[in-house]
Chains A and B, each alone.
Chain A
């Protein structure tokens, strides 16, 4: 158990260094969403409530997490391409330890994203600094697990050239189907149903509801939480299966 924990710790530290030493990952995970948060607020917040900071900041937090999929996937696919993972497979480390190593290394980045975007949002609009901000940050870590698991799955299955394209499905899904950039009221019933059953809008709504306040625990908290958690569990199961199948060729 101690050996296993120590290996996970070693893998996590290495993965954190790999990610933060890639300037591009910091640009996409932190700088770009931050720029969008400020820009969209300044341009649109007086035109539509959609871009008031209480809606925008939670949306930006979840949107920025979609890039975790891209960079987790890239890290794993590059480790596969260079046979670095193959070399590690010969070590005593188990598949679950690799998965933990990858997942745990990205969670601090998700925390930094949430704190940064809420902090900047709160500086712009101080009403954001309410009782809901801590639960919002904590719940955002739960939603980040969905994107991290997606990254592990994609990284286990795709090569480094196709990672960008495949990850863009998640990034686009989060952009278009989260309802953060436009009001969902005018959309067709089919589209709204799709949005309701997918994790993107639910993740965004869950964090927004922490800031706005929960009026109905079932619909504002339980349902979106369960949907996001359900997708997260499914993604992790698929990621573990894909990763294991790559670890030992049958």
Chain B
């Protein structure tokens, strides 16, 4: 089943076209990475798909529901982890999970069960009683992503999930993200080419709001004649001008 289908999805801010007629299909259970330099339109795309921003033109369907007319049902199916560490700072790790579970309509027993599952998936039990603001950057990011899973979404948007993390914390998060594969559809934006290479089923490359490439790593390598995502990305984005 198609999890996400966009049709000429466009976002215009005053004179700037942030996303330009995006046509894309992402299958259920797929881990899809959107790559692009700053201002490529990755975050705007995610914001439109997650109903946070209204498109200027075009439409998108999430599990068959239109982002223009069926936001209520979409909100039941999706969750998002933003670039920033979006957690309740003065709440403990445990309270954060409970808060988000209850906000999504879970009963006390369901919230308790969710807490156990999320704690075991993310190893958060070690820091459960700690106030979120006192955690290290890596733990805070882990908690931020864990919160997005509390609602058990069918489609999960991860916007730059490992931004600013050290290499160990990043690898730990990769491990966690890999575990999500097949459980749900994951759309990930990232600046880190090795991250896309390590995690993605398919990759989309955006530049100036346009989608320049969609396909698997192998298709990307075949198209550009490169053997790694970074060089292939540079080749696509620069139109071959910055090739080695």
Residues of A at the B interface (CB closer than 8 Å) are: 3, 6-7, 10-11, 13-14, 17-18, 21-22, 78, 81-84, 86-93, 248-250
Residues of A within 8 A of B25 (CB): none
* In contact, B91 and A90 (Cβ under 8 angstroms): no
Given A82-B84, A83-B83, A89 and B89 contact (CB-CB distance below 8 Å)? no
* In contact, A78 and B89 (Cβ under 8 angstroms): yes
Distance A136 CA – B136 CA, assembled complex (angstroms): 47
* In contact, B91 and A14 (Cβ under 8 angstroms): yes
* In contact, A10 and B53 (Cβ under 8 angstroms): no
**Which residue of A6, A18, A84 is within 8 Å of B86 (Cβ)?**
A84
Nearest chain A residue, comparing its CB with the CB of B159: A83
Given A14-B91, A18-B91, A248 and B86 contact (CB-CB distance below 8 Å)? no
The A interface, classified by DSSP as helix, strand, loop or mixed, is helix
**Which residue of B82, B89, B105 is within 8 Å of A86 (Cβ)?**
B82
* In contact, B82 and A83 (Cβ under 8 angstroms): yes
* In contact, B80 and A6 (Cβ under 8 angstroms): no
Q: Which of B96-104, B199-207, B215-223 contacts the other chain?
A: B96-104
Distance between A17 CB and nearest chain B CB, rounded to angstroms? 6
* In contact, A90 and B86 (Cβ under 8 angstroms): no
* In contact, B104 and A91 (Cβ under 8 angstroms): yes
* In contact, B79 and A248 (Cβ under 8 angstroms): no
B76 at the interface (CB under 8 A from A): yes
Distance A89 CA – B75 CA, assembled complex (angstroms): 9
Residues of B within 8 A of A91 (CB): 75, 103-104, 151
Number of A-B contacts (CB under 8 A): 77
Nearest chain A residue, comparing its CB with the CB of B131: A21
Distance A84 CA – B53 CA, assembled complex (angstroms): 16
* In contact, B85 and A93 (Cβ under 8 angstroms): no
* In contact, A10 and B102 (Cβ under 8 angstroms): yes
Given A10-B103, A248-B52, A92 and B89 contact (CB-CB distance below 8 Å)? no
**Which residue of A13, A21, A92 is within 8 Å of B104 (Cβ)?**
A92
Residues of B within 8 A of A7 (CB): 103, 105
Known: A10-B102, A78-B89, A91-B103; 18 extra A-B contacts, CB below 8 A, are A7-B103, A11-B103, A17-B88, A22-B90, A81-B84, A82-B84, A82-B85, A84-B86, A87-B80, A87-B82, A90-B52, A90-B80, A92-B75, A92-B76, A248-B51, A249-B47, A249-B52, A249-B54
Distance between B87 CB and nearest chain A CB, rounded to angstroms? 7
B211 at the interface (CB under 8 A from A): no
**Which residue of B50, B72, B81, B87 is within 8 Å of A92 (Cβ)?**
B72
B146 at the interface (CB under 8 A from A): no
Nearest chain B residue, comparing its CB with the CB of A22: B90
Residues of B within 8 A of A87 (CB): 80-82, 86, 147-148
Distance A92 CA – B72 CA, assembled complex (angstroms): 7
Distance A91 CA – B74 CA, assembled complex (angstroms): 10
Residues of A within 8 A of B105 (CB): 3, 6-7, 92
Nearest chain A residue, comparing its CB with the CB of B147: A87
* In contact, A14 and B80 (Cβ under 8 angstroms): no
Of the candidates B76, B81, B88, B91, the one having the most CB atoms from chain A within 10 angstroms of its own CB is B88
Nearest chain A residue, comparing its CB with the CB of B78: A90
B8 at the interface (CB under 8 A from A): no
Distance between A93 CB and nearest chain B CB, rounded to angstroms? 6
Distance between B127 CB and nearest chain A CB, rounded to angstroms? 17
Distance A93 CA – B104 CA, assembled complex (angstroms): 8
Q: List 6 A-B contacts (CB under 8 A).
A: A10-B102, A18-B90, A83-B86, A84-B87, A87-B82, A87-B148
* In contact, A18 and B88 (Cβ under 8 angstroms): yes
Nearest chain A residue, comparing its CB with the CB of B111: A10
Residues of A within 8 A of B148 (CB): 87
* In contact, A86 and B52 (Cβ under 8 angstroms): yes
* In contact, B82 and A17 (Cβ under 8 angstroms): no
